[in-house]
Structure 1
Amino acid sequence: MKSRLSCLVSTIVILLSISGRASSTDLGTQTRIEHVCSETSDYNLCQVILSKNLYTSMTDFNALTQICLSHILMYISDTLTFLEAAERNETSESQRALFADCGEGYGSMLAQFENAAFEFAKGDYKSMLSDIGDTTRYVTQCETALGNKLSEFHKRNVDTKVFIEMSNASGKLIGQQF
């Protein structure tokens, strides 16, 4: 519960720094989105997430990183809720243990992204990137442990990797203009 509250606080901090909604994107913003999405394993998913969540028509890499961080914080929190429900509903003790292990991994990943969001808010992009740099290992551990036993969770793992890639790519591009 405490981690969800801090996730909510992190998300609010990020979202408060952005105002309004964009009705269309300018060419520079679209080019920046393409640069971020070209660094991911699912270009189309990245395009949809970034385009759908733009707050101004002219968006720099800083704002794209805000979108990526707020999106992944909410997604990881939702995935933790999903894992907790799967663990509660599972009758097999060994499967419950696997869900619990994955939940711990996703909880650790959430904490790292919360730290990254605070580093981002402070303008310490190097620390932000360091915080999220190795988070895919938690997803990989869950994929290895559970395999494809739950198709919805498999999809969540795949999407989480893309959102991590988006956060890394946009964070690395802060300061560059295209």
Structure 2
Amino acid sequence: MASLFTSYFLPLVLVANIFNFQTSLCDISADEALIAGICRQVQDPPFCLTTFRQILAHPYVPEVVTRAAIAQSLQNANNNHAFIVAAKAAAKDKVTQDLYAICDVGYGLMITILQDAAQSLANKNYIALENDLSKCPRFVSDCQNALGSKTTPEMLDRSRKQFDLLIMSNVAEGLIKK
């Protein structure tokens, strides 16, 4: 009797495992396609892919991807804001201090708006979320424009990454079924 059970049960377990493995491969392919589609729209696709792979676990769904992108953007904005405040304090001349003050205010506002965006997502208020996220890239470009020739290579890199994170958030938000 045990041999009869084993002869039927073992192939069923094997088929179930194969099906589960194939299904999980399909899910991973779909997940990778989701983030690849988002990352094709940024300036630095490898940065985007690496960021998503570090902060997400499968399965990737647009709402979770959006939440992760906003959180990463907010963390980056806080780090950039601290960098700007330190650069403003270290600036030797009043003109440079004033230029960094523009960035200080802009990044401060962007942090507040990203916090609002995270709350809008949590409340499933997609209109407010879209509105919040659409405002943020302007703060990055305003800072870059203000600094102009006084922009450092580190600030350029920080701005590029911030801009990409904002694009990632915007594109992921657009994928949410509303």
Over residues 19-38 of structure 1, what are the superposed CA-to-partner deviations in whole Å (9 max), with x where a residue is unaligned? xxxxx981111111112112
* Cα distance between partner residues in 1 of 2:56 and 2:133: 22
Q: Does 1:162 align with 2:159?
A: no
Alignment TM-score, normalising by the size of structure 1: 0.80
Q: Which residue of the partner structure matches residue 13 of structure 1?
A: none
Q: Which residue of the partner structure matches residue 142 of structure 1?
A: 143
Deviating beyond 4 angstroms after TM superposition, the runs of 4 or more aligned structure 1 residues are: none
- Map 1:1-178 → 2, pairs under 5 A: 26-55=28-57, 57-147=58-148, 149-175=151-177
Aligned AA for 2:70? Answer: L
Q: Could you tell me whether the CA contact under 8 Å between 1:76 and 1:110 is conserved in 2?
A: yes
Aligned AA for 2:171? Answer: A
Q: Which residue of the partner structure matches residue 19 of structure 1?
A: none
Deviation at 1:147, TM superposition (A): 2.5
Aligned AA for 1:88? Answer: A
* Cα distance between partner residues in 2 of 1:26 and 1:169: 20
* Cα distance between partner residues in 1 of 2:28 and 2:126: 25
Q: What secondary structure is seen at the aligned counterpart in 1 of 2:36?
A: helix
Deviation at 1:76, TM superposition (A): 0.2
* Cα distance between partner residues in 2 of 1:141 and 1:150: 15
- Taking only the aligned residue pairs, the percentage that are identical comes to 23
* Cα distance between partner residues in 2 of 1:123 and 1:134: 18
Deviation at 1:45, TM superposition (A): 1.2
Over residues 69-123 of structure 1, what are the superposed CA-to-partner deviations in whole Å (9 max), with x where a residue is unaligned? 1100100000010011111111101101111111100111111111100000101
Q: Could you tell me whether the CA contact under 8 Å between 1:73 and 1:114 is conserved in 2?
A: yes
Unaligned segments of structure 2, at least 5 residues: 1-24
* Cα distance between partner residues in 2 of 1:125 and 1:154: 31
- Matched residues, number: 152
Q: Could you tell me whether the CA contact under 8 Å between 1:73 and 1:113 is conserved in 2?
A: yes
Deviation at 1:61, TM superposition (A): 0.9
Alignment TM-score, normalising by the size of structure 2: 0.80
Q: What secondary structure is seen at the aligned counterpart in 2 of 1:59?
A: coil
